[in-house]
């Protein structure tokens, strides 16, 4: 199996021998095997584990197991706890889709912040078959028929060439332990219904089902490349990015062949469903201001353009800043921190810079999205002001308003990021230590 994975990595040019890899590890059999494979192939890897808060004591036990696994391999360990149910309810998503959205968002944050080249997942050939059948059942574009790509941006799947049987054989020969997730056996979830009820029947017709589907997926992928060239040409004319906001000019698209499909492909990186794109297409001739949502982004039609902004998912996790920390990452923002004696500090009044009295803060600080009910004491004032009123006064558009982040000390807002300090944490003539936090947009 090691040779099969190594050959697959080389064939698809997934990574180089000195690549730094962040392995997504649940503690289940597939991800445990991924760790052992990376270890035996001598890759430099770390482990990232998500606790979605869905399985009570079992989830805590999984988290502890994976932490011990990282210690066993002597590799860095990163973990995050999510309020998955709240996110799913707010965005009207299935629990599985909510968990997927949150984990990939967080994996990318860790990858960037900690300097890893790729995120490796433990998908295998059986997953490809399940994905294609599930996509066909629910409805899909051409991308849903190529299954799971070996490489997608910074995400790599080095085990796509191996089957579940290969994985069981590897576990046995290497005497590996793993955590069994009881939810994998229930047919409550759609993917499990495909796995337990549909695939066994199809394999009675074609015992080589996985191999046949993989070959079909490869042909579809080649056809997709032809479509992608056409979409890319239109995208170069219509799509631009400025300050982390995406603008889609509608003028070049009016004469496009298959406009709904073109829009879907242009907006697919931002997770808009085809149903939403169809609704959007019908609204293109209407008034400006109509809003559409995906789990990760908000789109507003603004005259002859579409404005797409990312949602802040950090309120469903947490970004903590410890005392003495030098850097922090949040969505498309990078923060640098300087800790300076007050008598050596020259005040910087740029909106992107927060100069705070370090001794008035309680650590760790937290970066999060603003919430209804938030209030602060604006710099230069003594009275409270609702953050919602502050944003209205600033005339910030709705979808840009959703991107507003706050820096919180204990339960108090110290800084509306990039906009206004709280008067209670300002630098005064009594300040002894200053922490200067600079916001840098990517």
Task: Please enumerate, by residue number, every residue annotated as part of a binding site.
Answer: 26-31
Alpha-carbon distance values, 65 to 26, 28, 39, 51, 69 (Å): 9, 10, 17, 12, 6
DSSP E strands in 189-332: the ranges are 239-242, 245-249, 291-293, 297-302, 305-310, 319-321, 327-330
Cα of first residue to Cα of last residue in the chain, in angstroms, is: 40
Tokens 């430099």 belong to residue: 44
Binding-site residues for ATP, in ranges, read 26-31
Residues contacting residue 189 through CB under 8 Å, at least 6 positions apart = 96, 183
Q: How far is residue 312 CA from its own chain's centroid?
A: 11
CA-based nearest residue to 267, from 227, 233, 308 = 308
CA-based nearest residue to 81, from 314, 291, 269, 289 = 314
Q: CA-based angle 235:440:269, to the nearest 5?
A: 25
In this structure, the strands spanning 319-321 and 365-369 are antiparallel
CA-based nearest residue to 287, from 302, 305, 276, 308 = 302
Question: Are residues 423 and 382 in contact, defined by beta-carbon separation less than 8 angstroms?
Answer: yes
Tokens 């990312």 belong to residue: 310
Q: CA-based angle 115:116:120, to the nearest 5?
A: 160
Distance CA 325, CA 234 (A): 44
For residue 367, give the 3-state DSSP assignment: strand
Residues contacting residue 226 through CB under 8 Å, at least 6 positions apart = none
CA-based nearest residue to 362, from 416, 413, 293, 314 = 413
């Amino acid at each position: 199996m090691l040779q099969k994975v190594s050959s697959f990595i080389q064939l698809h040019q997934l990574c180089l021998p000195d690549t730094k890899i962040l392995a997504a590890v649940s503690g289940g059999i597939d991800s445990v095997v991924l760790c052992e494979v990376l270890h035996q192939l001598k890759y430099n890897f770390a482990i990232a584990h998500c606790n979605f808060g869905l399985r009570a004591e079992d989830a805590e036990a999984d988290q502890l197991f994976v932490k011990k696994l990282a210690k066993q391999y002597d590799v860095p360990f990163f973990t995050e706890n999510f309020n998955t149910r709240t996110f799913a309810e707010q965005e009207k998503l299935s629990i599985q889709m909510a968990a997927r959205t949150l984990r990939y968002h967080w994996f990318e944050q860790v990858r960037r912040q900690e300097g890893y080249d790729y995120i490796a997942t433990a998908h295998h050939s059986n997953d490809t078959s399940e994905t294609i059948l599930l996509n066909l059942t629910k409805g899909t574009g051409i991308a849903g028929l190529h299954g799971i790509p070996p490489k997608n941006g910074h995400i790599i799947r080095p085990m796509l060439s191996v089957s579940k049987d290969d994985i069981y054989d590897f576990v046995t020969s290497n005497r590996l332990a793993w955590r069994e997730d009881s939810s994998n056996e229930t047919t409550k979830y759609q993917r499990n219904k495909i796995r337990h009820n549909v695939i066994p029947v199809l394999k009675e017709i074609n015992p080589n089902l996985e191999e046949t589907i993989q070959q079909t997926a490869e042909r579809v992928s080649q056809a997709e490349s032809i479509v992608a060239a056409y979409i890319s040409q239109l995208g170069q004319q219509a799509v631009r990015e400025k300050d982390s906001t995406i603008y889609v000019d509608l003028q070049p698209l009016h004469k496009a062949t298959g406009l709904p499909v073109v829009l879907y492909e242009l907006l697919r990186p931002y997770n808009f469903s085809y149903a939403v794109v169809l609704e959007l297409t019908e609204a293109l001739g209407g008034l400006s201001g109509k809003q559409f949502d995906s789990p990760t982004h908000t789109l507003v039609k603004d005259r002859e353009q579409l404005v797409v902004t990312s949602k802040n998912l950090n309120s469903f996790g947490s970004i903590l800043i410890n005392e003495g920390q030098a850097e922090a990452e949040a969505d498309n923002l990078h923060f640098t921190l300087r800790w300076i004696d007050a008598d050596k500090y020259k005040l910087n009044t740029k909106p992107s810079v927060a100069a705070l009295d370090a001794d008035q803060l309680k650590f760790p600080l937290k970066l999060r999205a603003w919430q209804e009910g938030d209030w602060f004491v604006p710099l230069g004032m003594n009275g409270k002001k609702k953050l919602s009123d502050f944003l209205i006064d600033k005339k910030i558009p709705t979808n840009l308003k959703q991107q507003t982040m706050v820096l919180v000390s204990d339960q108090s807002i110290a800084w509306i990021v990039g906009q206004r300090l709280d008067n209670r944490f300002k630098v005064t003539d009594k300040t002894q230590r200053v922490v200067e936090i600079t916001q840098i947009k990517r």
